[in-house]
């Protein structure tokens, strides 16, 4: 549990940021693009908080990207209307409009996640092996 605590904290903090972006109606760029980048991180932290460590972190990130794309294409098919969802909150969570820009934002969020994973691995390898000074 101790190893998962940072992911739980990250999830809660990032979820708070997402809620603030939605509630306080930040400008279009932040709401539309940065929010979609951050949502990838929210889902990643949520999954890493309970997915066993043996699962490859990069595979989890790519899985989130695939999931995000699937949701976006379901929005293009008007899934909320097909399911008859009328509740405004549920319609917001499901999404009601397709945008190619969202796909780019999800991809950017995934790339940042993967870069962070490689940086973290490199730093932990160095700290385990120690640094050699001549």
E runs forming strands in 1-134: none
Q: Residue 12: what pLDDT?
A: 98
53-90 pLDDT per residue, tens: 889 999 999 999 999 999 999 999 999 999 999 999 89
Question: Please, what is the angle between helix 100-129 and helix 35-48, to 10°?
Answer: 50
| Torsion from C-alpha of 44, 99, 21, 46, nearest 10 degrees | -10
The pLDDT score that the predictor gives to residue 1 is 67
Q: What is the pLDDT of residue 11?
A: 97
Residue 134 has pLDDT above 50, yes or no: no
pLDDT in tens, 5-40: 999 999 999 999 999 998 887 788 998 899 999 999
101-117: average pLDDT: 97
Q: Are 105 and 37 in contact (CB under 8 A)?
A: yes
In this prediction, residue 39 carries a pLDDT of 96
pLDDT tier for residue 128 given thresholds of 50, 70 and 90: confident
Distance (Å) of CA 134 to CA 125, 130, 131: 19, 13, 10
Examine the pLDDT at 132 and tell me if it is beyond 60. no
């Amino acid at each position: 549990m101790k190893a998962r605590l940072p992911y739980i904290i990250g999830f809660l903090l990032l979820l708070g940021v997402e809620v603030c972006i939605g509630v306080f109606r930040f400008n279009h760029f932040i709401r539309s693009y940065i929010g979609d980048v951050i949502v990838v991180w929210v889902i990643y932290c949520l999954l890493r908080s309970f997915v066993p460590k043996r699962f490859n972190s990069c595979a989890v990130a790519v899985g989130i990207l695939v999931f995000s794309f699937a949701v976006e294409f379901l929005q293009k098919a008007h899934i909320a209307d097909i399911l008859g969802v009328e509740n405004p909150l549920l319609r917001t969570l499901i999404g009601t409009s397709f945008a190619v820009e969202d796909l780019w934002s999800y991809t950017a969020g995934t790339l940042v996640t993967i870069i962070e994973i490689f940086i973290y691995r490199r730093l932990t390898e160095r700290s385990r092996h120690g640094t050699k000074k001549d």
